[in-house]
Amino acid sequence: MYDIRQFKPCLYVLLIMGMTGFALAAQSPGVWVLSVGGLLLNAWLVKTGRFAPFPRWLANGITILALVYAFVVFRRGSAAPILVIGQFLVLLQLVKIFEQRGNRDYAQLLVLSLLLMVAAAINTASLAFGILFFAYLFLSLYCCLLFHLKVETDHAKAALGIPEEKLNPMTLRQDQRYLARSMRRLTVIVSTCSIAMAVLVFLFFPRNTGANLLGPFQMKTSQTLTGFSEKVGFQQVAQITQNAEIVAYVKAWEDEQPIRGTRPLVLRGLALDLYTGNDDSSTRWQWLRSPAADKDYDLQQYVEQNLVDRQNGGKGTIRQEVMLKPTGTGVLFAVAGPTDLRPLTFDGRRLLFRDRDQSLRIEPALEKDVRYEVFSSGKLPAAARDLPGAQRPATQPQGQSATSDDAPSLPGLTGRTTASTVVTGLTASVIDPMIEQFARRPEVSGTDPAGPLIARRPKDAYVTPLDEQIARNVEHHLKSGGDFSYTLDLRDADRIGDRDPIVAFLYDMKRGHCEYFAGVMTLLCQSLGLQARMVVGFYCDEYNNLTDSYVVRQAHAHAWVEVLNDKGEWITFDPTTGRQAATSRTVTAWSRVKQFFDYLEYTWANSVVAYDRETRTSLIQNVATKLEETKETGTSSFHSAKSWLADAFSDKTFWPFTSWLISVAIGVLLTAMVGAFAWFVYERWKLRRRAKRIGLEMLPHDAQLRMARQLGFYDDLLNLLARHQIVCPRNLTPLEFSDSITFLPNELYDEVKRLTEMFYRVRYGRIALTGPQQRHLRHVIAHVERGLHHLPRLRPSKSNGA
């Protein structure tokens, strides 16, 4: 017995892995720094002998404070309940590691670490966490075995009452020699059995994808500084960092020909047409969807009733297979002009479609990865030209309200600037008069030889041929005018104060990200009476050749503008200056490495995370289909061979040769069977004779044959010595015989002596020789034979038993 010195380092590594896994799942580097820093501090104190356990009252007080903190965070609802539980478990582990006094504390740390990893596993499905969790399970098993040995060692030391320094050194070395190997073997055996059982359970008993206790917390919704959101707000101005988190994988085909990254993929999300402005509410300076602007239809019902003229598979149809991760919203993304959507992993959720902006939604919002297939025409369908509200109402000053009588039926698309104390009361965007003044500048809305375009614009027209040209002029001014620049760093924008961020962008800052550019252009167009809206989605130009799919990241989130022209078409504009240059990509070694990891992530998400009952059913059906095909192929081959033999036998010219061939085959088969039986009987006879020669007659029949096979090397040694006239008398034991042949040279004598000792170890020590060991013994006997050949004829004396 000796102290299990591996246990404490193994425990520290296990705790660090558990806290790292939780930090990955919670996306909280602060928790990781705090927890790992505390563990390393404790390890240093223990290593240097400075560690002193916390008093019980202090540990209990900290635990109560941690419980109160968790309760407060849970009541506020600022984090998922499972994450709050995980944070509480982290604090408990830190308290326990500084309170450790005995084996009970170590056991509690092991249990708390396992519970923390379970909480993390519920909250994430990333590949990095999966790899870490896999390694954690192996290490936790090894650590538990070490802990068990440590407890038993402590009990044995207490029972013996002998100090470790007075124990037999040979016993300690024996334990140290074989303990590690035994532990590794036991860990490998248990882990292999556990993995095999886990794979079987995973394949045949997939998780229930319906509602359950842990279902709402299975995936953490994305909370990012950059990325897609249903609301675009400007009230929080700061430095925005690029977020490389993967949102979706998209495979695309056009006319059933794969699109392999030859062009960017533009995925529409939502169209936002209502700017809240300074409405004195918590949602000011935000872009929203107009409330009750249009009805959300059940997609399948809408397709059946209104989209019957759009047939999938037509020319120009773009088919997309999307694997979407949770974005914190219920929005589904697709190329413009969706005509049909086929859910692959939806769990009875409602699939909604808004015809006005061609947006797709799922209710309730996403909580885990989903897969769907969508068909798109690639362009938005034409809108009705005879739109309601043909008269363009005059723009009201900011802050005035419109009555329900004069509110337009399509809110947010005209130049009306009304406000309300609640967002749902807004009937149009709240536009600052300075925005319209900026839009009416000739260099912004444009001029031609006949004068400024906006001055020649008919006042009574709802949509005119000039609208598209005006929108292009506004886009050109923002994108190529030279005054505006693209940036994510807006930390110095605090000088905006309480002003409208759009006004500050136009007159003061003149720089921002894509939401600023798209929002500015939309308001400029709306202030001039154009029907315009801002669209948020993803502009992706990253293609992974390993997965044959586009990799959509949060950093690919983009905003652009759509304006209605006089033909009833929504025309797309992208006013963001420098956007194309910012997204240009070059293939480097690092990008190939990233593609490989994206491929692993895609395979993990598609084959493991998305595995459910439907996938299991499909897998079983595919296996059954393959087995059925194999059966049909084998049956067909058998019938073909049978027909060939029947045809051959029916041929009188071929029949004699076939008959002779069959007779020969039968004769060879019978000869082989007789020969095999004779060889079996001969081997048994040889083993019985060998057992008799080496003194195994008294053993049972089965034991005789087994020991005769194991001790064949000693029988070969006796036969070799007999051929050189060195015979073992019947009155001598093998050991006595080996001691009597001292006339042999020292080298040969030593080898015979060792072979005899091996005989005793196998015969009486219950040692089973492996194949490599038996081959080694045969090599030793061959070496003895070569040595005897080089010696003169030796005739041993009578005293030696000759």
Task: Look at residue 492 in the predicted model and tell me its pLDDT.
Answer: 60
pLDDT digits (tens, 9 = 90+) for 683-717: 888 888 888 887 777 777 777 788 888 888 888 88
DSSP, residue by residue, 33-79: HHHHHHHHHHHHHHHHT---PPPHHHHHHHHHHHHHHHHHHHHHTSS
pLDDT digits (tens, 9 = 90+) for 509-540: 888 888 889 999 999 999 988 889 999 999 98
Parent domain of 573: 232-384+396-603
Identify the band that residue 152 occupies on the pLDDT scale cut at 50, 70 and 90. confident
Let me know if residue 148 belongs to a domain. yes
Structure tokens at 584: 């240009």
Identify the band that residue 82 occupies on the pLDDT scale cut at 50, 70 and 90. confident
Q: Could you tell me where the beta strands, DSSP code E, fall in 492-579?
A: 511-512, 532-540, 543-544, 549-553, 557-564, 570-573
In whole angstroms, what is the distance from residue 97 CA to residue 105 CA?
8
pLDDT digits (tens, 9 = 90+) for 596-621: 666 677 667 666 766 666 666 666 67
Q: In terms of domains, do 196 and 286 share one?
A: no
Q: In terms of domains, do 159 and 250 share one?
A: no
Identify the band that residue 378 occupies on the pLDDT scale cut at 50, 70 and 90. confident
Query: Which residue type does 139 have?
Result: L
In whole angstroms, what is the distance from residue 268 CA to residue 296 CA?
17
pLDDT tops 80 at residue 488 = no
Q: In terms of domains, do 757 and 791 share one?
A: yes
DSSP, residue by residue, 574-601: ---TTHHHHT-----HHHHHHHHHHHHH
pLDDT digits (tens, 9 = 90+) for 195-232: 888 777 776 766 554 433 333 344 444 443 345 666 67
Enter the DSSP assignment of 482: S
Task: Look at residue 12 in the predicted model and tell me its pLDDT.
Answer: 92
Q: Which of 409, 354, 341 is nearest to 380 (CA)?
A: 354
More confident position, 392 or 97? 97
Q: In terms of domains, do 280 and 427 share one?
A: yes
Let me know if residue 2 belongs to a domain. no
Task: Look at residue 295 in the predicted model and tell me its pLDDT.
Answer: 63
Let me know if residue 552 belongs to a domain. yes
Let me know if residue 681 belongs to a domain. no
Q: In terms of domains, do 468 and 404 share one?
A: yes
In whole angstroms, what is the distance from residue 90 CA to residue 86 CA?
6
- Domain boundary among the residues 189, 215, 241 is at 215
Q: In terms of domains, do 310 and 182 share one?
A: no
What value does the mean pLDDT of the chain take? 76
- Domain boundary among the residues 603, 632, 650 is at 603
Q: How many other CB atoms are found less than 10 A from the CB of residue 355?
A: 15
Let me know if residue 1 belongs to a domain. no
pTM for the structure as a whole? 0.57
In whole angstroms, what is the distance from residue 307 CA to residue 303 CA?
5
More confident position, 614 or 727? 727
pLDDT tops 70 at residue 29 = yes
Identify the band that residue 765 occupies on the pLDDT scale cut at 50, 70 and 90. confident
pLDDT tops 80 at residue 246 = yes
Q: In terms of domains, do 266 and 371 share one?
A: yes
Task: Look at residue 159 in the predicted model and tell me its pLDDT.
Answer: 66
pLDDT tops 70 at residue 99 = yes
Return the percentage of the chain with pLDDT > 90, whole number: 9
Angle formed by the axes of helices 127-160 and 589-604, to 10°?
70
- Distance of alpha carbon 278 from its chain centroid, rounded? 43
Q: In terms of domains, do 125 and 257 share one?
A: no
Q: In terms of domains, do 146 and 270 share one?
A: no
pLDDT tops 50 at residue 102 = yes
**Stretch 436-447: mean pLDDT:** 89
Dihedral through CA 381, CA 387, CA 389, CA 393, nearest 10? 60
Query: Which residue type does 739 have?
Result: D
Q: In terms of domains, do 187 and 259 share one?
A: no
How many structural domains is the chain composed of?
3
Task: Look at residue 525 in the predicted model and tell me its pLDDT.
Answer: 92
- Domain boundary among the residues 576, 603, 630 is at 603
Let me know if residue 679 belongs to a domain. no
pLDDT tops 60 at residue 108 = yes
Counting other chains too, the contacts that 580-588 makes at CB distance below 8 Å and 24 or more residues apart are 582/486, 583/539, 583/541, 583/556, 585/541, 585/542
Q: Which of 141, 122, 150 is nearest to 193 (CA)?
A: 141
Let me know if residue 663 belongs to a domain. no
Let me know if residue 677 belongs to a domain. no
Task: Look at residue 209 in the predicted model and tell me its pLDDT.
Answer: 46
What distances in angstroms separate CA 759 from CA 111, 704, 712, 766, one per listed residue?
51, 15, 10, 11
Structure tokens at 467: 């609208």
Q: In terms of domains, do 202 and 239 share one?
A: no
Q: Which are the contacts of 327, defined by CB distance < 8 A and separation ≥ 6?
A: 221, 222, 227, 228, 247, 366
| Element (DSSP H or E) covering residue 321 | strand 318-324
Task: Look at residue 731 in the predicted model and tell me its pLDDT.
Answer: 81
Task: Look at residue 312 in the predicted model and tell me its pLDDT.
Answer: 44
pLDDT digits (tens, 9 = 90+) for 639-669: 777 676 666 556 555 556 566 677 788 888 8
Task: Look at residue 607 in the predicted model and tell me its pLDDT.
Answer: 66
Query: Which residue type does 629 have?
Result: E
pLDDT tops 70 at residue 800 = no
Q: Say which range, 10-24, 235-249, 557-571, 630-644, has the weakest mean pLDDT.
A: 235-249
In whole angstroms, what is the distance from residue 193 CA to residue 190 CA?
5
Structure tokens at 364: 């309730």
Dihedral through CA 113, CA 115, CA 117, CA 119, nearest 10? -140
What distances in angstroms separate CA 112 from CA 14, 91, 93, 578, one per listed residue?
11, 10, 7, 51
Q: In terms of domains, do 301 and 361 share one?
A: yes
Identify the band that residue 396 occupies on the pLDDT scale cut at 50, 70 and 90. very low
Contact 334, 341 (CB under 8 A): yes
pLDDT tops 70 at residue 262 = yes
